Structures are given as C-alpha cells and as structure tokens.
A = this chain, B = another copy of it.
Amino acid sequence: MGAVTIYDVAERAGVSIKSVSRVLNGEQNVSVALRTKVQEAVDALGYRPSLSARSLAGSSSYLIAAFVDADLTIEHWRSGRGNDYLSRMELGALMEVRSSGYHLMIELVDPGSATLERDMSSVLGSLKPDGVILTPPISDASVVLDVLEARGTPYVRLGPETQLDRGRRVYMDERRAAFDMTVHLARLGHREIGFIVGNPRYAASRLRREGFEAAMAQHGLAVRDDWVLEGDFTFTSGFECGARMLAGVERPTAIFASNDDMAFGVLQAASRGGLAVPADLSLVGFDDTPSAQFSMPQLTTVRQPVAEMAETAARMLISAAQAKADDGLERVHQAAYTLIARESSAPPRLARAARIPVS
C-alpha cells in the first residue's frame, strides 16, 4: 500500500540497494545502463525515499527550517489576523524548496526565553535541518546565531541589522528605500514632512528613520521633533500618531509612515479630521501590503520582495548543503525594492489657506 522501499526498487531493477541510492542521489561513477534501469523501476513503482530514513542514515535531512518569532506569531494568532510578511516569506521558500525536493518546516522561537539556548539545541537536534532561515527579529538574536554556528548548521538571516559579518544574509536597503521615498515627497514639492517611526524592536524601524532624516537633510528640510512620532507598526498607533500630528494649527503637508498599516491609521485620522488625501495631505507607507492597492486613495509605498528574498535564502541554503566545499558560495544578497507611486501622494496645495479643511 504505497510502502515502496528501496529494496523493492532494487529488486525490480535487479541491482543492489546501494546502486539505487547512488542513482537517486546523482552520485558519480554510475553507468548509463544502471541509471536507466533504476530510473525505470523508480518510475514504475512510484518510489520516493523516506525522509526519515534518509535523514537518520545520512548527513542531510532535506529539511529547511524557518525560525519565526513566537511572540509575534502569538500576537497575530490572538488577533485572528494573518501575517503578510510571514505568508510571503513562506510562499517564496516553499517554491524554492519544493523544486529541489526539500521540505520546509516552520518553527516558532521565543528569543526572550530563559532556556533559549537549550530550546534551540533541542529543535536542531530533533529536526537536523540542512539549513535555517531566520526571519526578523530572530535574524538579530545572537544566541540563536551562536547555537547555529556551534552545530555547524548553515543559516540565512533575512534583513538583519547587527553583526553583519555573521552567517549569510539576504536583505533590502531599507535605509535607501526610505531615503528614496522621502525624496519622492520632496520632489513633489513637500517641505513639511512628518514621519512615524516603527516598532523599535525591529531593526528596520531605525533604518527607515535614518533614511528619512538623511533625505530631509540633503534637501535642506527641517525635521521637526513634534512631527516625528513613535508608533509600533500597528494601525492603531498610526491613527494616534496621525491624529496628534494633524491636530495642531501647523501640520505637515505630507506624512511618511514606516509601514502601510500605520499609514492606514493616519488615513483614517486624516479623514476624521476632514482632510482629503492627497489633496490636503500626502501620505506614504512602506511594505506594499495587499490593502495598499485596495485603499482609497491607493497608497504610495515601497514594495519589499519578501517572497524573492526567501527564495534566495532557501537557494543559498540548499546549495550550501549540497556543496562539498563551503567556498565560492554567495553569502550576501541585496534584494531590489520598488517605490510604487500610487494615488496617495501628490504635490501639496500651494496656498496655505487651502490647507484649512472645508469641513
């Protein structure tokens, strides 16, 4: 009943199990005749090697694990909301992994756990993954890197900020993307630009802010303290920051939120305050969440190619697992972002008067 083993294949092909194994693993020094015989038997029987037997006997497990922050996941789980980043990451990893005959396993990691080191060892010990993908903010958990290195398990960090010399990484130039976005606003004619910072737990928050500030400086624009507010990447925090920033007599003509969710919060706040976007206020975000295309107005934002990045990460790990020598392999990959200008950003109204809401 589907329980086809290597013995069945060997018997049918009239060869030893080792030869079957050789063909399956594409080893050298296998005659064409053998290869064909085995291949035929494999096809006829619909044989697929058992993952567990392979990983138990050999040095590779054909498994790639993705480590995801447990807190973040629990938070999403509680709120009943999906995680777009995670989902896109997975899609990418899945596509790559699948085409190479590997499997993907998602593991939750709690970087705050007192027993983190032990937890990690346990997971790695019981799974023996050939490679691990670290997603933010795990990418920067140095204990995790330590354990991984101690075990010699190859890993790729997605969007890490610290200790950039450790391990492999795939990242996007967040700083420059934020810079570009700010320039986009400046070019439209905005001089009074507000900024909403993201969750300090994520490295990206700092980078985006830096990019913003650098661009402002370069264009000779003042960064006003009361127009740089701290959010935490949630809609609610965006709403609050937006409301606060727009409440004053003086208010920015454009707001750059560190992510789309917060931008939607600002949009809501603006609309409550009777301000039209982009007529009265230009608004831009970051991430290109699905909603960015559905919102009214559609949101100008930066698209991060998360799926592609995960694909690259998976590919790096798989080639690392397959290569005998560890050199000559790509260790760092920078992914290209895209600034997507949609409806929510436009030139500011020229007359100051015009900025007073009609109500």
Which residue among A73, A106, A288, A305 has the maximum number of chain B CB atoms within 10 Å of its CB? A106
Given the complex, which residues of B lie within 8 Å of A46, measured CB to CB? Answer: 118, 121-122
C-alpha gap A151/B47 in the complex (Å) = 15
Are A126 and B91 in touch, CB under 8 angstroms? no
Are B56 and A235 in touch, CB under 8 angstroms? no
Expressed in whole angstroms, the minimum distance between the Cβ of A327 and any Cβ of chain B is: 23
A residues 58-113 near B (Cβ < 8 Å) are 61, 73-74, 76-77, 80-88, 90-92, 94-95, 98, 103-108
Given the complex, which residues of B lie within 8 Å of A55, measured CB to CB? Answer: 52
Are A121 and B82 in touch, CB under 8 angstroms? no
Q: Which of B47, B52, B306 contacts A61 (CB 8 A)?
A: B52
Given the complex, which residues of B lie within 8 Å of A54, measured CB to CB? Answer: 52
Given the complex, which residues of B lie within 8 Å of A16, measured CB to CB? Answer: none
Among A1-9, A170-178, A222-230, the one that faces the other chain is: A1-9
* Residue A168 lies at the interface, judged by CB distance under 8 Å to chain B: no
Looking across the interface, which residue of chain B has its beta carbon closest to that of A338?
B80
Are A51 and B52 in touch, CB under 8 angstroms? yes
Q: Can you tell how many copies of this chain the complex includes?
A: 2
Q: Which of B1, B80, B296 contacts A307 (CB 8 A)?
A: B80
What is the interface residue range for chain A against chain B? 35 or more
Looking across the interface, which residue of chain B has its beta carbon closest to that of A304?
B80
Are B88 and A126 in touch, CB under 8 angstroms? no
Among A158-166, A186-194, A260-268, the one that faces the other chain is: A260-268
* Residue A279 lies at the interface, judged by CB distance under 8 Å to chain B: no
Looking across the interface, which residue of chain B has its beta carbon closest to that of A261?
B294
Given the complex, which residues of B lie within 8 Å of A118, measured CB to CB? Answer: 46
Expressed in whole angstroms, the minimum distance between the Cβ of A302 and any Cβ of chain B is: 13
A residues 14-53 near B (Cβ < 8 Å) are 46-53
Looking across the interface, which residue of chain B has its beta carbon closest to that of A61?
B52
Known A51-B126, A81-B290, A84-B82: A91·B105 in contact at CB below 8 Å? no
* Residue A142 lies at the interface, judged by CB distance under 8 Å to chain B: no
Which residue among A48, A90, A267, A290 has the maximum number of chain B CB atoms within 10 Å of its CB? A290
Are B91 and A76 in touch, CB under 8 angstroms? yes
C-alpha gap A296/B80 in the complex (Å) = 21
- Contact digits for A288-332, partner B, Cβ 8 Å, 1 yes 0 no: 111101111000000101110000000000000000000000000
* Residue A271 lies at the interface, judged by CB distance under 8 Å to chain B: yes
Q: Which of B48, B76, B92, B125 contacts A4 (CB 8 A)?
A: B125
Given the complex, which residues of B lie within 8 Å of A122, measured CB to CB? Answer: 46-48
A residues 113-132 near B (Cβ < 8 Å) are 118, 121-128
30 CB-based A-B contacts, threshold 8 Å: A1-B152, A2-B124, A2-B125, A2-B151, A46-B122, A48-B125, A48-B126, A49-B126, A51-B52, A52-B55, A53-B56, A80-B303, A80-B305, A80-B307, A81-B290, A82-B83, A82-B84, A82-B87, A82-B91, A83-B91, A90-B106, A103-B107, A105-B105, A235-B294, A261-B294, A264-B294, A289-B290, A290-B291, A291-B291, A291-B295
5 cross-chain pairs, A with B, having the tightest CB-CB distances, nearest first: A82-B87, A291-B291, A264-B294, A48-B122, A52-B52
